[in-house]
Amino acid sequence: MTQVFRELQQRFKSLGNELTPAVLAEAKRSLSDWLEANYSTLTEHKAPAEFNGTMMQWFHWYIPADGAHWNNLKDAIPDLAKAGISGLWMPPACKANGGGYDVGYGIYDLFDLGEFDQKGTVRTKYGTKDEYLAAIQAAHQAGIQAYADVVLNHKMGADAEEEFEVIPFDFGDRNRPLGGVERIKSWTHFTFPGRGDRYSSMEWRWWHFDSVDYNSFNPGYKAVFRMKDKNFETKVDLQSGNYDYLMGCDLDINHPEVRGELKYWGEWLLDTVGVDGFRLDAIKHINGDFFVDWLDHLEHYAKRDLFCVGEYWTEDFGTLNWYIGNAGGRLNLFDAPLHYNFHRASKSGGHYDMRGILDNSLMKHLPLFAVTLVENHDTQPLQALESVVESWFKPLAYAIILLRAEGYPCIFYPDYYGAHYKDRGRDGNEYEIWMDSHRWMIDRFLFARQHFAYGAQYDYFDHPDVIGWTRLGTEQHPGAMAVIMSDGAGGSKWMEVGKPNTVFYDLTEHVKQPVHTNEYGWGEFHCNGGSVSVWVEKQPLLPQLSELLERFGLHLPN
């Protein structure tokens, strides 16, 4: 880590371990000052894929458990590269408690990538280790980065029970003990009988964890059982008093053997798989200092920068601001507040004030650290954080994350390919879900992103229903673009594109009539109700005309 990042980390260490309102306020001021002083250093540190690149989350919760996912990904790589995808967030590849049916977050063995007969299967839900490696190799050959989904908060599916002493705590208030020290029996001994000591000889024992939620001596008693003489982690989310414990056997991240094993596993993953970065799961439940140390170690080992985005799922901008600063500016975060803005706008029936669509978001306030998204596997219908962005609004949302200057956008698999599945809701009833494919529109946005989303950006967020912005291009990418959208009845807006007497057409084909700018480089651009239009120059596209027609069947206006 360069000195500038260490400086920020030291600033935040002085703020203490608890996320109080005063700490969050000071964190916001401190990070703002640091960003202003070190903007150029930060932009140099960012990976090239993050600038006008696009990530795709290439899975969702209900991907078929047929073991074909890695092979399907390999087959899709050429089309993804052609469309403009520069990074792939892949599902957890390690063997999980549910074997061939587990999405991957019930993590069991970090070193089993679908190679050993464990949990009733050799392959994971997604395929075998060899198929996983082949998919990543294909991605690299196509110039696409590969990001591993890393689950280090907990382990599940132990191979044997152990007895040890604990103190029970209330699930709803982790600061309230429910009794004194007692002896319990729980599943905490991981021996990995299918793998043995291949790649690692460490067996996980009860002392490698700080809490569990199950006692075989009294299986009906609900509590968080914290190991005696241990403490819940600090610098975690304060929901339920302390949100260190989430599920399974919660790793004691301060234990030297645990920290050593996780660093060693990271080295092994880089050597074995060759990933370009990581998506970090459930970081709100892990001490905020850990991943800085872990990432420092791996970047020193790899002798290169590694992309890293964390899942800290909260709408509280102050908390996200604190986490970025506490991590020394090293980690990106998913823009959960922006997702919830999209969710509310899509549910408002055209009555959302679109002037505030970016309010409270990382995209608006901390764009260098924002990985923007519309939905993910946790927010999709019937999942734990269900907060659906309605289908009619998704093209508007994707235009925002793909065609603006801020953030590293992430496309969700079902929004591109569509999805159909059945599952039970929280009410116990079964539901059949259809998620629409928006590939037709997303491909056009990706094309515009590659050719037109450059240069100065002028915003026209001046109407509650109709908003827009323009991109004026650069010397290397001279084409201009105007984006306009409405959650209401549609309309038009005069916007400056810097191209006098120039013909623009709507790449989405929603509006057929071209726009001619005036002698000052302004034009009146239109969009339909509940829709988005992307206006681009006709002339700069002529060299790419054959490609455009082949991919989209697009007909340019006269």
**Residue numbers annotated as active site:** 281, 311
Contact by Cβ (8 Å): 369, 333? yes
* CA distances for 179 relative to 31, 127, 167, 469, 496, angstroms: 42, 46, 7, 59, 68
Residue 281 to residue 202: CA distance in whole angstroms? 23
Residue 551 to residue 558: CA distance in whole angstroms? 20
Q: Which of 76, 55, 83, 75 is nearest to 442 (CA)?
A: 83
* CA distances for 357 relative to 66, 429, 462, 466, 541, angstroms: 39, 34, 12, 11, 31
Q: How many CA atoms lie within 13 A of 543 on its CB side?
A: 3
Q: Which of 558, 547, 531, 375 is nearest to 447 (CA)?
A: 547
Please give the structure tokens belonging to residue 424: 């039970």
Contact by Cβ (8 Å): 94, 115? no
Contact by Cβ (8 Å): 329, 42? yes
Task: List phi, psi (to 5°) of 226.
Answer: -90, 130
Contact by Cβ (8 Å): 136, 130? no
Give Dmax (Cα) for the chain. 82
Residue 236 to residue 92: CA distance in whole angstroms? 23
Residue 476 to residue 66: CA distance in whole angstroms? 45
How would DSSP label each residue in 180-221?
S-EEEEEEEEB--TTTTTSS--PPB-GGGEEEES--TTSTT-
Q: How many CA atoms lie within 13 A of 228 on its CB side?
A: 10
∠ CA 54-57-60, nearest 5°, is: 155
Residue 345 to residue 350: CA distance in whole angstroms? 8
Please give the structure tokens belonging to residue 381: 């219908």
Q: How far apart are the first and last CA of the chain?
A: 54
Q: Which of 350, 356, 357, 343 is nearest to 465 (CA)?
A: 350
CB burial readout 233-251, b (16+ within 10 A) else e: bebbbeebebbbbbbbbbb
Contact by Cβ (8 Å): 329, 5? yes
